[in-house]
Structure 1
């Protein structure tokens, strides 16, 4: 079978993917004027080789848009992607070569598959596009089906409607692996599965990561799953990154009020430890007209007047730990503001 040659010039110390100042705004014309939805606004982070980077945040914070920008299903308005030292889309790393090394698994396992193609055909399709012979692509599709726990003799010639949700998601994972990628983006890949199937797919992802030397970007609302699977966690709010750091550090000593509110919203298995008061008041502001300064200040119990005037940047607050909060930065004006002027909370 014709092998794929991956570009790996940077060595183990270099991040696999660097995201620099990524911006994506959606424009829509309406009767009362032109509206701009600031879905992703000046987002920067790194994905290290061999890690799982978890991405969390409320619905509408820009997680899925960021994933589609990483996959280049959407073109950014500004910013750049650097994959292992090479600019994505440049002559040294054209888009076809980049997409061969970066694959994505979507939330809806049924909509992700062509209903007119068998599982064998769906998995082999990518390799056929890249010039692999039909015979070799078919053999590799059977190998991948077995690798994700589906017997090729039983499942290779089935259509999507004949499979359960967990089986379809395993096929989607196999299809993503068919191109022998180095980075796999998982956008709510297990959220539609019941818990028993979800546990099986999560264990499968861990096994594949170890045996195939993969790197994951794992997007999910389920903080329990993110904590179990991730090495580092990136927290987004209203199109911006507000905190990033080691998974256990964020869960035990988070530096941003929004992260702490997310953690307090996690369901508890202890009936004596019920959530009686909402960790956050109000709804997220509109991405069409986000607040000035810190975008979280309208819902933050620690906000002061300076929070509405100064936009915080991601600053180091610990080993490998960054937070975009003036309160977490000892030299910021938040600590010098006297008297304390609390910002009214949004009801």
Structure 2
């Protein structure tokens, strides 16, 4: 962890406030108006320098769209992204500088690499685009390959199809570090790996974070992986943040019913702690036709009429939660149930 991360007044390495993104869906039938998919709604967070923020939620909750918004691969409809406290401009020049400091590792390790480029050329490509001399870029590539556990003499001249999935993901990590970034975003970066390789990559990420003074955003559907690697966790449901806070606090005492359901669904190795009933039932509502008020209400066992109004985000110490039950003044009959 860097010295900056220890300062309570240090600006977050990366932050966002009020990000919104909708996608237009045009109907095939004549005369019907266009409809809108609400992919991300009022998304806000702070990533303290030197820490890891885990983002969890069901498939389709908006995690990957959020990652692309943060990288400006998709432009938000509204909201603000800040890097080290400074607003990120969308001009071509400023985005080039931003992407030098914020890199991303994608889920599909094979599709992320150009099959026509050798591993060395894949890693040196970005530094050369940013003005690094070819000789220096090659030295960077070889040094990083060695650091992620791949012998450069053996792997630098190979092509992606000649590597295993774990080796390709190590190459992607090395490529992300080639520009010496401040922040790295991992979008399901270990989900396609078997468990032994996954553990090796996670340990490598922790070592690299400490060595290079990095900050991570780690997106995953695997709650155990997020608990292992993260300092803070953010829970998403239907494009909206429903709870966020220190990982130990969220896992030990979740306040939102959706967070409780997610954690209850994690398989236990203890035969006496078997899950006998589904913690959550039904499918999420369509992001086109969202329910009024709380988006989780149609699947929530605590739902009441007050839940037809949108709950606002409440702060409880270091955690934040968006739920009427978490607010003793909301009028919900079970407002103390999760206290």
Equivalent position SS for 1:138 = helix
TM-score by length of 1: 0.91
Moved more, 104-113 or 32-41: 32-41
Going from structure 1 to structure 2, the CA distance change for 1:11 and 1:180 (only over 3 Å counts) comes to: farther
Further displaced range: 60-69 or 40-49? 40-49
What residue in structure 1 maps to residue 178 of structure 2? Answer: 178
Distance 2:130 2:246 in 1: 37
Write out aligned runs for 1:134-213 (5 A).
Answer: 134-213=134-213
What CA distance in whole angstroms lies between the structure 2 residues aligned with 1:58 and 1:38?
16
1:93 deviation in Å? 8.1
Q: What is residue 51 of structure 1 aligned with on the other side?
A: 51
> d(CA) in 2 for partners of 1:114 and 1:159?
9
Match of 1:315 in 2: 314
**Number of the residue aligned with 1:28:** 25
Moved more, 250-259 or 32-41: 32-41
2:323 paired residue number:
325
Q: 1:15 aligns with which of 8, 12, 16?
A: 12
Q: Does 1:107 align with 2:107?
A: yes
Give the deviation of 1:91 after TM superposition: 7.3
- Measured in 2, the distance between the counterparts of 1:148 and 1:11 equals 32
Give me the whole-angstrom Cα distance separating, in 2, the residues matched to 1:111 and 1:151.
Answer: 22
- How far is 1:31 from its partner? 2.2
Alignment partners' CA distance in 2, 1:115 and 1:191: 21
Displacement after TM superposition at 1:47 (Å): 1.0
Structure 2: gaps of 5 or more residues:
none
SS of equivalent residue, structure 2 residue 150: coil
Distance in 2 (CA, whole Å) between partners of 1:231 and 1:253 is 15
Contact 2:20 2:43 in 1 (8 A): yes
Mapped contact 1:87–1:93 kept (Cα < 8 A): no
Q: Which moved more, 1:10-19 or 1:161-170?
A: 10-19
Residues 82-93 of structure 1 mapped to structure 2, 5 A cutoff: 82-89=82-89
- Between the aligned partners of 1:103 and 1:125, the Cα distance in structure 2 is 14
- Secondary structure at the counterpart of residue 262 of structure 1: helix
Rounded Cα–Cα distance in structure 1 between residues aligned with 2:8 and 2:134: 34
CA distance in 1, matches of 2:111, 2:281: 35
* Residue aligning to 1:283: 283
Q: 1:185, CA displacement in angstroms?
A: 0.1
- Bigger shift: residues 93-102 or 200-209: 93-102
TM-score where L is the length of structure 2: 0.93
Q: Distance in 2 between matches of 1:109 and 1:117?
A: 14
Is residue 245 from structure 1 mapped to residue 245 from structure 2 by the alignment? yes
* Cα pair 2:325 2:334 within 8 Å, conserved: no
Is the 8 Å Cα contact of residues 302 and 334 (structure 2) preserved in structure 1? no
User: RMSD across aligned C-alpha pairs, in angstroms?
Assistant: 1.8
Assess, with a 3 A threshold, how the Cα gap between structure 1 residues 11 and 311 changes in structure 2: closer, same or farther. Answer: closer
Q: 1:12 to 1:129 in 2, by over 3 A?
A: farther
Contact 2:53 2:234 survives alignment (8 Å): yes
Classify the secondary structure of the residue corresponding to 1:334.
coil
Q: 1:336 to 1:195 in 2, by over 3 A?
A: closer
The 8 Å contact of residues 12 and 49 in structure 1, kept in 2 or not, is answered as: no
Q: Map Cα deviations across residues 181-239 of structure 1 (whole Å, 9 max, x no partner).
A: 00000000000000000000000000000100000000001100100110000000001
CA contact (8 A) 1:126 1:178 kept: yes
Quick check: 1:94 aligned with 2:97? no
Aligned partners of 1:24 and 1:78 also within 8 Å: yes
Given that residues 28 and 36 in structure 1 are in contact (C-alpha distance below 8 angstroms), is that contact kept between their aligned partners in structure 2? yes
Written as runs of structure 1 = structure 2, the 5 A alignment for 1:301-312 is: 301-308=301-308, 310-312=309-311
